[in-house]
A and B are shown apart, each in its own frame.
Chain A
């Protein structure tokens, strides 16, 4: 049992009052309570942006690194320490823009961790420029005449690239989002949740615009089929589905498992330094000593 108060951080919150980011923070805390994870068993990894500040507001281990580059740091943490619940928290600009390359390749690696993207379809921290998910024609503080580039389809990309767990949530529906996070964190392999998070300061749509369109995937929706999942992933406009879009539970290689199986079945920090004679043996393996002995 872990009480939600244990995640209470002393750091001063920098988000705009009323920002739906607070909903994501609550949902994540709820999920961690449900999973009974103690603060020291959690590691949050983030990049740069408003979303990426979240680790400061949830008491646990964290590594708040470079813009766009949370995924490789988190991947390594998870390989070293499979006991840490590793979660990347990032924004649409951070993850789909600057971090696009890491986003793509992490699906292929399939590390056992969770990616949460606060998708407000804008660069919030830098005051309202278009991000890769801002819609065609939307006007922003920088794109005065409307965005001229078609948006990226991150969920469809994830499904096509074989990400085994792809979900979309809504920051305005905390109970539903909490459940999604629980499922995602429990999943063995890479799980990805894109969270619709209206930005009330710079966003191109009010919260109500989203509320009117969002619906939950029905209970009879089958998340195991790629083509059906792709349809849901690109459904946007009049209706926007939330829930687990794609779920592939066929066993597959998890990044780091093979590596650990070779050297140590557990946390690599337990290994310590090899004893002296093991090192000498290793050196001898290079063959030099055999030559020496012959002389």
Chain B
């Protein structure tokens, strides 16, 4: 339904959790092929299957990044706390519209179900628009027009006399089914090309006590506050620890990892999914892993204890 609403010309979002997300992954592929903007909130909880449905985990990072059959671009964000979530979702909507892509917001049971006392959020987003083309400037409308950036002019049905035709089959520029194999290749390239431009908009990880650090804790999503607290406490005990916290995870930001530092993962999963991602994209060597997958959130004491075990 979210895809239908978005096609019809409004912003659309759906929120779900592991099993529901897995069930509807075919829809992400549909949004990818039809280039329909879509925002999905995925509240992670311990899996496989129903797992521990009232507890927390960060186990779906690689799944979210790879969700959907076939190759196409998408965005994956993981907000750090309620304030970040507030701004991130606006950003996700804007980028999803601009790149006509799916944006997945990864939260988890911990972030979704915790109470926080916060200052009122400031609305500082200046730009809020659907990135629609103007029908008057178009004579022959092609929903999937091949362009320099890969982004085609978007209109919605009923907006004007231009017809908006979308297909989950491979299609020509007008949106009709095609078996023209040369065109197929160009359409694949078009859908992926958007991704290159999108990458340049992705924010780098947040650094804390980074320049001076010998050891760096790398984390993502809802664990930021616990990790940053652990950094302060560890440094208070004479360590030289810093942190790199990721909230924009796909496409991966452009970033240079200084080579003289030692990197540790802090993740609420068993296999160190951020580490696997960074190893494959940047060839980054990970010194040690502080992982938690018993269903409880990462907290400062757990992280400190884990770090001290590695650095002993």
Which A residues are closer than 8 A to B by beta carbons? Answer: 11, 14, 38-41, 43, 45, 48, 53, 55-56, 59-66, 69, 72-77, 79-81, 83-84, 267-269, 271, 273, 276, 279-280, 283-284, 286, 288-289, 292
20 residue pairs A–B, Cβ–Cβ below 8 Å: A14-B177, A40-B163, A43-B8, A45-B4, A55-B165, A65-B3, A65-B34, A69-B27, A69-B30, A76-B3, A76-B5, A76-B8, A76-B12, A80-B9, A81-B9, A84-B157, A268-B9, A269-B10, A269-B159, A288-B121
Q: Which of A11, A60, A74, A83 makes the CB contact (< 8 A) with B4?
A: A74
Q: Which of A73, A280, A288, A292 makes the CB contact (< 8 A) with B7?
A: A73
Q: Taking the nearest CB of chain B, how far is it from the CB of A89, in angstroms?
A: 14
- Check: B260 CB closer than 8 A to any chain A CB: no
User: Whole-angstrom distance between the alpha carbons of A80 and B167 in the complex?
Assistant: 20
- The listed residue with most A CB atoms (<10 A of its CB), out of B7, B8, B129, B156, is B8
16-30 of chain B: CB within 8 A of chain A = 26-27, 30
Contacts A269-B9, A292-B119; A75 near B1 (Cβ below 8 A): yes
Enumerate chain B residues within 8 angstroms of A279, measured Cβ to Cβ. Answer: 123
Q: Which of B3, B10, B26 makes the CB contact (< 8 A) with A268?
A: B10
Contact A72 B176 (CB under 8 A): no
Contact A292 B26 (CB under 8 A): no
User: Whole-angstrom distance between the alpha carbons of A48 and B128 in the complex?
Assistant: 35
- Check: B160 CB closer than 8 A to any chain A CB: yes
158-198 of chain B: CB within 8 A of chain A = 158-169, 175-177
Q: Which of B4, B26, B118 makes the CB contact (< 8 A) with A73?
A: B4
Contacts A72-B1, A72-B4, A280-B123; A56 near B177 (Cβ below 8 A): yes
Q: Taking the nearest CB of chain B, how far is it from the CB of A261, in angstroms?
A: 17
Contact B9 A40 (CB under 8 A): no
Contact B161 A53 (CB under 8 A): no
Q: Which of A65, A77, A288 makes the CB contact (< 8 A) with B157?
A: A77
- The listed residue with most B CB atoms (<10 A of its CB), out of A59, A63, A72, is A63
Contacts A273-B128, A283-B123, A284-B120; A79 near B5 (Cβ below 8 A): yes
Q: Which of B2, B10, B128, B163 makes the CB contact (< 8 A) with A39?
A: B163
Contact B120 A288 (CB under 8 A): yes
Residue of B nearest to A47 (CB): B168
Task: Count contacts between A and B, CB distance < 8 Å.
Answer: 119
Q: Taking the nearest CB of chain B, how far is it from the CB of A207, in angstroms?
A: 27
Contact A40 B123 (CB under 8 A): no
Q: Taking the nearest CB of chain A, how far is it from the CB of B154, in angstroms?
A: 12
User: Whole-angstrom distance between the alpha carbons of A80 and B164 in the complex?
Assistant: 15
Enumerate chain A residues within 8 angstroms of B169, measured Cβ to Cβ. Answer: 48, 64
Contact A43 B3 (CB under 8 A): no
Contact A40 B157 (CB under 8 A): yes
Enumerate chain B residues within 8 angstroms of A38, measured Cβ to Cβ. Answer: 161
Contacts A48-B168, A65-B168; A269 near B163 (Cβ below 8 A): no
Q: Taking the nearest CB of chain B, how far is it from the CB of A181, in angstroms?
A: 20
Enumerate chain A residues within 8 angstroms of B27, measured Cβ to Cβ. Answer: 66, 69
Contact A81 B157 (CB under 8 A): yes
Contact B166 A269 (CB under 8 A): no
245-265 of chain B: CB within 8 A of chain A = none
Enumerate chain B residues within 8 angstroms of A73, measured Cβ to Cβ. Answer: 1, 3-4, 7
- The listed residue with most B CB atoms (<10 A of its CB), out of A60, A80, A84, A283, is A80
User: Whole-angstrom distance between the alpha carbons of A284 and B119 in the complex?
Assistant: 11
Contact A65 B10 (CB under 8 A): no
Q: Taking the nearest CB of chain B, how far is it from the CB of A51, in angstroms?
A: 14
Contact B34 A81 (CB under 8 A): no
Q: Which of B3, B12, B160, B168 makes the CB contact (< 8 A) with A64?
A: B168
Q: Taking the nearest CB of chain A, how far is it from the CB of B28, in angstroms?
A: 11
Mask of B120-131 contacts with A, CB within 8 angstroms, 1/0: 110100001100
Contacts A53-B177, A66-B27, A81-B158; A60 near B123 (Cβ below 8 A): no
Contact A60 B159 (CB under 8 A): no
User: Whole-angstrom distance between the alpha carbons of A43 and B129 in the complex?
Assistant: 24
Enumerate chain A residues within 8 angstroms of B168, measured Cβ to Cβ. Answer: 48, 64-66
